[in-house]
Amino acid sequence: MKTDLRVLNSRSAVIALRDFLRQVAARPHTFAENVELISALKSQAGIAALEVEFEDDEGIKQTKAVSLNTLKTYANQLFERGFEEINYLRISAKDSIDAFNKRGQKSNKRTKSGLTKRVDEMERDLEQHQKINFILLQGLSYAIGELKIVRDTPSDKLRKKRVQDALTTLTMIASMNPPPFDYFPPIEHDRKVTKIDKYRK
């Protein structure tokens, strides 16, 4: 049965919205002065009505305005966490922009008080990234252990079950982090896992 073109377009738009919200949460400085976006992030209906074109590693994408019910319906069909994932990303994006703007207001002056606040902010950021690294290392350690078990599993059926269980657990571990560290982006088989050359220094 052929899928209606409108359905395909709506599904693509909802996926694009998720990817856009991830981008906002990861790069709040880029959107800190976007008044329309900041207003939209305040409510679920606001992001449902959001229309924006943006670019990420996969190319140019576009969201489109839909009703909140439509957004919830497709999100529940498409994502493991359903609409909860979209709403979580909305809140994370809003909080990231708010935090960035507050940092700018508090520590933009070269005063002793401003510098002290800036140091405190950097220490909090460092602590957060240490927690993120710890969670991701726990996931990596778990993955290594599961790969060894799967390697030595003779039954195809049991092997597939263990792989699926491991994927579910790893996804849950990653979801404990704030965006953009809370999920695994899709990897094409003919592409490098990630561009890590700039981190080799």
| pTM for this model (two decimals) | 0.60
Question: Looking at the predicted structure, is the pLDDT value of residue 18 above 90?
Answer: yes
Tens-digit pLDDT profile for residues 93-120: 998 899 888 876 655 556 676 677 767 7
Q: What ranges make up the beta strands (E) of the chain? A: 53-56, 59-62
Task: Report the interhelical angle of 5-26 vs 83-106 (nearest 10°).
Answer: 30
The per-residue pLDDT for 197 is 56
Instruction: Identify which has the larger pLDDT, 199 or 40.
Output: 40
Tens-digit pLDDT profile for residues 71-92: 999 999 998 889 998 998 999 8
176: burial class by Cβ within 10 Å (0-12, 13-18, 19+)? middle
Question: Looking at the predicted structure, is the pLDDT value of residue 48 above 90?
Answer: yes
Structural domain boundaries of the chain? 1-106, 120-201
Question: Looking at the predicted structure, is the pLDDT value of residue 187 above 80?
Answer: no
CA quadruple 176, 181, 187, 193: dihedral, nearest 10: -120
Average pLDDT value over all residues in the chain? 81
